[in-house]
Structure 1
Amino acid sequence: MLVTSAELLSTATTLDAMPQEGVSEIAVIGRSNVGKSSLINRLTQRKKLAFTSSVPGKTQSFHSYEITLRDEDAHLTTFHLVDLPGFGYAKFAKKKREYISRLTVDYILSRDCLKGVMLLNDFRRDPEEDEQAIQNLAFENDISLIIVLTKADKLKRNEIEKRRKIIASQYGLEGGDVLISGEKYPTEPIWKRIASIVGE
């Protein structure tokens, strides 16, 4: 799978300001500082496509990226990756945390072009109520779910599979059902899962 083009399409603070529907969307959702922007840059092989920060809570808008993939048969697929505001940042006021949670839910429920949710989970953290709520929301609305475990480079090699199985079981899945993201891990498994969803 080859990324032939990747560009920032729009930045929106409300759902009404998002791009007009028509192109399939894959949402990138996760806790603040889980590594959403880093994953987008790694997937597209563009270091500065998505702004990254070590400070949690920097992404407070919907960032839509237009991506075109070419498969081994030279077939082109264009879709949008939508980076949502990170949830659960404790230093945000309660009202702001609730607003971000409501925005996420409203987005999932209102976008007819949303084909899949890529839910990011830090390898070092067990899924909490927020992650499980998003999993349930996707399931209840017949939206494909991709769970990606981030920051694999922070763990020792012999810890990876153990943590993978533990976290997967908490989502009610097998270890192989959740994907791995890290600087030393290929992005092809993630792209294949995305392509299978937007190509349906």
Structure 2
Amino acid sequence: MELKNNDLIKGSSGRFGDQLVYRQRNGKTIIARRPVKRNTPPSVIQQELREQFSEAVLYAKAVIANEAKKAIYQGKATPYYSAYLLALTDFRKAPEIRKYDTSAYSGQIGDEISVRAIDNFKVERVMLLIKDSLGETIEEGAAVLSENGVDWIYTATVVNPTLPGTTLFISAADIPGNITTEEVTL
């Protein structure tokens, strides 16, 4: 129920007895029935989400308590998104590997592999592991962020004599430590 031009309840919020609650929404006072707490146990998915949120809250509190980490998030804070909220949402969302380009990789030293990885806040690192068709490691290492700020470039340091069947394992990590992986067979 919405009341208009009622000075008695204008700007009110809270509970009236056990039946009504007053809320403010978009500058209006809303009166509604008091929500009823359910006694059913949470589903497995609900319980997992609650645990993830609890972990995110712990992470965000730790960020705010650490001045160096807080400064990272504070730099992108706005009036609507505090450093705490940015840390909380960053913890909940893993980076995405949007695309990769292996066209410049022919198995020679100096060949490049490009990976586009994004995150809701910041991708911290991108790693590549290259294995031959038998599953033996050829090389592994960190990619370097390119000037465009979204593509990561890995430069080969070892000759790969048998390109067909080569498998790339790409991983992207963000500040909270969320890791996304992708496997690519050439």
TM-score (norm 2): 0.21
- Which structure features the higher share of strand residues? 2
- Which structure features the higher share of helix residues? 1
Structure exhibiting the larger radius of gyration computed from Cα positions: 2
TM-score (norm 1): 0.20
Structure number with greater CO (CA < 8 Å, separation at least 6) is 1
